[in-house]
Structure 1
Amino acid sequence: MTTTAPDVRERKSRRRGGVLGNTGLYIATSVAALLFLIPFYLIVRNALMTDQEITGENWKWFPTSIQWSNVRELFDDPTVDFARSLWNSAVVAVLSTTGILLVCSLAGYGLARIPYKHANKVFYVVLATLMVPTAVTFVPSFVLVSSLGWVDSYRGLIVPGLFSGFTCFLFRQYFLGFPKELEEAARVDGLGYWGAYWRVVVPNSLNFFAAMATITFINGWNSFLWPLVIGQDPSSWTVQVALSSYMTNQTVNYHLIFMATAVSILPLVFVFLFLQRWLVQGIAQTGIKG
């Protein structure tokens, strides 16, 4: 079989187009990555500068002299116990993530697997909660928490958020696609719904649980409005509330704001880097089509 000149030209054109396409893709990806890294660069740059350099008229790409003392000043500030706020955020984020994964996974598994004539109605009620604005339930939730004496406590910060309608929905979608054969084999061995869930479903769903844990942890760490209202005493402030205290009507401590921001995002970066490969895979396993 002979190759004609038009075939050779077409083949070369395709190869050239593929190379140009890959080059364009790499350039676009590099530009997007640089744009994504700009805020992080500004945070680190300003965190290691003085207020005079940050607000000065002349732009500087790097600090004239790196102010490592800003780290010591952040943790030695008598008005804000930043180390305590980091600990509070860690406790709230970890316990909230654990509780939400347990409650919502059990609810999603029950809605997906346990036969019940009102299961669909319960599921629709769960979906309806997603349409209720947070502002509508904010005041009643605060009144309830206050009447229980949970203000300035971990219980007040964690318990009201232990159920998420959206997370429950995602778990139900995932369990609907989970292989029933594994659960049927578990029931042959004498396990009930709880045994099948705990011994079969959970060990085979760790990727999805890790994805949900990442999203839930980030949301818990970044929560601001509810901790601001419940944590009225400085000893119960979370890191986001502590950050807001550096900006008042009288003064703005720019270098402390940026240093506190840089320190506060480090746990999120570590969590994301450790669990990032499960994020897309976990969401894809829910069965939601874009």
Structure 2
Amino acid sequence: MTTTTPGIRKTRPTAEKRRSGRVGGMMGNTGLYIAIGIAALLFLIPFYILVRNSLSTDAEITGEHWKFFPTHLQWGNVSELFDDTSVDFARSLWNSLVVAVSMTVGILLVCSLAGYALARIPYKHANKIFYAVLGTLMVPTSVTFVPSFVLVSSLGWVDSYRGLIIPGLFSGFTCFLFRQYFLGFPKELEEAARVDGLGYWGAYWRVVVPNSLNFFAAMATITFINGWNAFLWPLVIGQDPGSWTVQVALSSYMTNQTVIFHQIFMATTISILPLVFVFLFLQRWLVQGIAQTGIKG
């Protein structure tokens, strides 16, 4: 008994510590889940308000007594929105889709090629060009807005897809991100491609791009969202209602004379659905791609 008692006394504190560690870990995880749940609810409140008001009447939206959901859901607001002859909302959705997709494809192509050239092609003025690209990030958009409009107008691109898309096909920040990514890309893969007789273009298209799809998907997500949400430039270029994008169309429901609340909320709800689908579909690649840029914080 004297030989086993000390052993029992020594093992008890270890078991207690393990139990307390498990309990502390479970409590810590519970607190983390509660915090995440609260943050998720706060994040979803604007979406709830959009959906609730889009299926309500103007009287229920502006009434004194708030209901979690209206007694009778106004599904007719959807048909009313698309049947409105003053604003061709379906056309504006199509215009935004064309602009956002075209800008995404164009920016990915142009900026990835520029970033790859700055990162890989040896050229004595490469750093100067890179600094010039960074310099464009310091120029306010308001400074270049009027000259860009004068140029587009002189080319006859007002009220056209060319005027909406082409001036935005280069992004200094996206080019910078691509250069940072390609600087960390394994050179061994490109050297093996050159041994097989591929040049810079062949290595870029057949080796670099297929092995960088996560990063391309992340940049595509960000670019698509920016193109879809653009407002000021489409407002100036799209002077004819037939060339309005969805953001310009949304602004037309609020004028000095009238404010159609249920149409504003219904149009806003429908306009954010493509962004939600794109983000949900590409969120995994978005996180991975941003992590691969080497930029933190």
TM-score normalised by length of structure 1? 0.98
2:16: which partner in 1? 9
Q: What amino acid is aligned across from residue 189 of structure 1 in structure 2?
A: D
Distance, in Å, in 2 between the alignment partners of 1:205 and 1:6 is: 52
For 1:138, the aligned partner's letter is F
Q: Are 1:215 and 2:190 counterparts?
A: no
> What residue number does 1:96 align with?
103
Are 2:142 and 1:135 equivalent residues in the alignment?
yes
Paired letter, 1:129: T
Q: How does 1:42-191 map to 2 (within 5 A)?
A: 42-191=49-198
Following superposition, the deviation at residue 14 of structure 1 comes to 1.7
SS in 1 for 2:282: helix
- 1:4 is displaced (CA, Å) by 4.0
Select the residue among 259, 270, 279 that pairs with 2:277.
270
> 1:71-126 deviations in whole A, cap 9, x for unaligned?
00000001000000000000000000000000000000000000001111111111
1:220 deviates by: 0.3
Distance in structure 2 (CA, Å) of the matches to 1:118 and 1:255: 57
Q: Structure 1: which 5+ runs fail to align?
A: none
Residue 204, structure 1, aligned to residue 214, structure 2: no
Distance 1:187 1:158 in 2: 35
TM-score, with structure 2 as normaliser: 0.96
Counterpart AA for 2:86: T
User: Residue 239 of structure 1 corresponds to which residue in structure 2?
Assistant: 246
Q: Distance in 1 between matches of 2:208 and 2:95?
A: 32
Deviation at 1:9, TM superposition (A): 3.2
Alignment: residue pair count? 290
2: CA distance between counterparts of 1:136 and 1:146? 17
Match of 2:3 in 1: none
Percent pairwise identity: 84
Structure 2 Cα separation of the partners of residues 173 and 288 of structure 1: 9
Cα distance between partner residues in 2 of 1:126 and 1:247? 39
Q: AA paired with 1:100?
A: I
One-letter identity of the residue aligned with 1:70: N
What stretches of structure 2 of length at least 5 have no aligned partner? 1-6
